[in-house]
Chains A and B, each alone.
Chain A
């Protein structure tokens, strides 16, 4: 038996349509999205970038250390959430993703689309936090946007690695344990992600300096530092970018496997 030919539907067109759906929905929910993903980084900025320096407990230059970290945090947290939360809901309860799983493309493309949409949402969150942080902290010594290619590379790779991680968390972890995952994995990741301090500073605690290398957030924070405040000591750029590529591939691989298991029985 052979099927009679239909006018071809190109996967890229279907991909674009599904992405447009996510963008439409995200745009409508923008205020909630910003509160959900940007509030925490902004509160950190208020305390560490404004209150503590005012009290004289932290030097003024601290904002230079902190800004790249806060941007890394906004990017990665929103990337994870933008993928993990809808996946959890769709597969666990509402089954709303079913209509996309019935579209005439390989189902993996639906997962890849979610990751791309997560990267975009991460960028939006970071772009929102940047001016707000600047406003709260005042002028940031040493801040430069001169290295745009590096900034773009770190943003996209960092967003992709963490969206893919969100894909795994949203599809591979049983829903009752997801709260636990966020407190056991995400919270320590933030604390030991070199967001509040440069990796070079950990030289004082050598064990820690090597231990934190398993933390994906470290590479995004250091990458932001290398791109935005090149004057502050940071990891070699080649090491940062290769680590981000490896992490993206790794998380994408385990994320797609978990997605496949949930999508097909």
Chain B
């Protein structure tokens, strides 16, 4: 059985109402029919898979996780989690999932251990069992010494661990994490990675959204790259990296429009693609750094002066740029 399946999933948020003010020109009209956050999305996640959803801010990651965790209504299409339809059987879905939110939202009126115990009782787990399990989880996540502390006494990283412990307190089959490492310092991020690997090792299905390439690359079995609600690519990180065009991305920033330089670059040997975005010239080429003098000359021939040069080896990042024309972060 698949852990997750979506068919032609679509989510449209109603366009925000625009207030008319006298004497003030109306702002640009919102798109007719609302804002499309998820569009024609077909996904299948196998049981036990570590699945990553990669995309920039506003790509639809949070909406997708919101739908799969029964917190966002579907506009069209279907979604199943752990075999249950999120629309017709949301309580059954909730029974089988654990959710780690983007921003920690612990119950601040309760202590650390109480957060876990009460949460487990919301799932019908007897108090004594909930307490034992809560203690185990806090130990495993390395915050057992904070057991009786108030939630406000925890650091950001510790609160994030508490959220993971809470998500696990009813032993879910599928764990959702929405950008879990945003705002964590590098050390806390690495130790969170360890925790996630361990969870995966236990055979749980993990669905994690992120906009960090490295994180997706390191942790995930498979990755879905989404932007503007659409699925752009879906494969293992290694296969996706092989799909990255050219060998190296050369980015040259000029002091003015780069269109003429892009035209010149396209004619150069070994260039697979070149495009201009305002003053930024992006060239995909096997020749990598060896191309730089020619690119500088191409700009200078039209009176453009180079302000910045950047080389990126083929990676998920360069693939993403070639797919969307945008950077992840």
- Distance between Cα atoms of A106 and B94 in the complex (Å): 10
A17-B122, A20-B121, A102-B99 known; A1 vs B2 contact (CB < 8 Å)? yes
Question: Of B1, B69, B107, which contacts A102 at CB under 8 A?
Answer: B69
What does the 1/0 interface line of B91-112 toward A look like (CB < 8 Å)?
A: 1101111010101011111100
Q: Which of B101, B107, B124 has the most CB of A within 10 A?
A: B124
B165 CB, nearest partner CB in chain A, Å: 12
Interface residue A100 (Cβ < 8 Å from any Cβ of B): yes
Check if A105 sits within 8 Å of B119, measured CB to CB. Answer: no
Interface residue A95 (Cβ < 8 Å from any Cβ of B): yes
Chain A residues, CB < 8 A from B99: 102
Among residues of A, the one whose C-beta sits closest to the C-beta of B97 is A102
Interface residue B271 (Cβ < 8 Å from any Cβ of A): no
Check if A9 sits within 8 Å of B95, measured CB to CB. Answer: yes
Check if A264 sits within 8 Å of B122, measured CB to CB. Answer: no
A21-B110, A104-B95, A105-B91 known; A95 vs B103 contact (CB < 8 Å)? yes
**Interface size range on A against B:** 20 to 34
Chain B residues, CB < 8 A from A1: 1-2, 5, 80, 83
Check if B122 sits within 8 Å of A3, measured CB to CB. Answer: no
A1-B5, A9-B124, A265-B66 known; A104 vs B94 contact (CB < 8 Å)? yes
Interface residue B212 (Cβ < 8 Å from any Cβ of A): no
- Distance between Cα atoms of A263 and B105 in the complex (Å): 15
What is the size, in residues, of chain B's interface with A at 8 Å between Cβ atoms? Answer: 40
Check if B82 sits within 8 Å of A3, measured CB to CB. Answer: yes
Interface residue A94 (Cβ < 8 Å from any Cβ of B): yes
Per the 8 Å Cβ criterion, residues 48-74 of B in contact with A are 66, 69-73
Interface residue B118 (Cβ < 8 Å from any Cβ of A): yes
Per the 8 Å Cβ criterion, residues 6-59 of A in contact with B are 6-7, 9-10, 13-14, 17-18, 20-21, 24-25, 28-29
Per the 8 Å Cβ criterion, residues 209-252 of A in contact with B are none
Among residues of A, the one whose C-beta sits closest to the C-beta of B84 is A3
Check if A96 sits within 8 Å of B105, measured CB to CB. Answer: yes
Q: Which of A1, A14, A99, A265 has the most CB of B within 10 A?
A: A99
Among residues of B, the one whose C-beta sits closest to the C-beta of A4 is B83
A133 CB, nearest partner CB in chain B, Å: 30
Question: Of B83, B105, B119, which contacts A94 at CB under 8 A?
Answer: B105
- Distance between Cα atoms of A1 and B85 in the complex (Å): 9
- Distance between Cα atoms of A67 and B110 in the complex (Å): 37
Chain B residues, CB < 8 A from A98: 101, 105
Chain B residues, CB < 8 A from A104: 91-92, 94-95, 122-124
What does the 1/0 interface line of B79-90 toward A look like (CB < 8 Å)?
A: 010111000011
Among residues of A, the one whose C-beta sits closest to the C-beta of B1 is A1
Among residues of B, the one whose C-beta sits closest to the C-beta of A99 is B119
Question: Of B72, B80, B91, which contacts A106 at CB under 8 A?
Answer: B91
Chain A residues, CB < 8 A from B1: 1
A21-B110, A94-B108, A102-B69 known; A6 vs B96 contact (CB < 8 Å)? yes
- Distance between Cα atoms of A13 and B119 in the complex (Å): 13
What does the 1/0 interface line of A103-133 toward B look like (CB < 8 Å)?
A: 1111100000000000000000000000000
A3-B84, A17-B118, A265-B73 known; A103 vs B103 contact (CB < 8 Å)? no
Check if B108 sits within 8 Å of A96, measured CB to CB. Answer: yes
Question: Of A9, A13, A96, A101, which contacts B71 at CB under 8 A?
Answer: A101
Chain A residues, CB < 8 A from B69: 102
Chain B residues, CB < 8 A from A6: 95-96
- Distance between Cα atoms of A17 and B127 in the complex (Å): 10
- Distance between Cα atoms of A24 and B127 in the complex (Å): 14
A101 CB, nearest partner CB in chain B, Å: 7
Chain B residues, CB < 8 A from A10: 124
Chain A residues, CB < 8 A from B193: none
- Distance between Cα atoms of A2 and B85 in the complex (Å): 9
- Distance between Cα atoms of A29 and B66 in the complex (Å): 33
Chain B residues, CB < 8 A from A107: 90
Among residues of B, the one whose C-beta sits closest to the C-beta of A105 is B91
A-B contact pairs, 8 of them (CB 8 A): A1-B83, A3-B82, A14-B123, A17-B122, A20-B121, A29-B109, A94-B108, A263-B71
B interface list, Cβ under 8 A from A? 1-2, 5, 13, 66, 69-73, 80, 82-84, 89-92, 94-97, 99, 101, 103, 105-110, 114-115, 118-119, 121-124, 166
Q: Given A102-B97, A265-B13, A265-B71, list of 19 further CB < 8 A pairs?
A: A1-B2, A2-B83, A3-B83, A3-B96, A9-B124, A14-B124, A17-B122, A18-B122, A21-B107, A24-B114, A24-B118, A95-B103, A99-B119, A99-B122, A100-B122, A104-B94, A106-B90, A264-B73, A265-B73
A interface list, Cβ under 8 A from B? 1-4, 6-7, 9-10, 13-14, 17-18, 20-21, 24-25, 28-29, 94-96, 98-107, 263-265
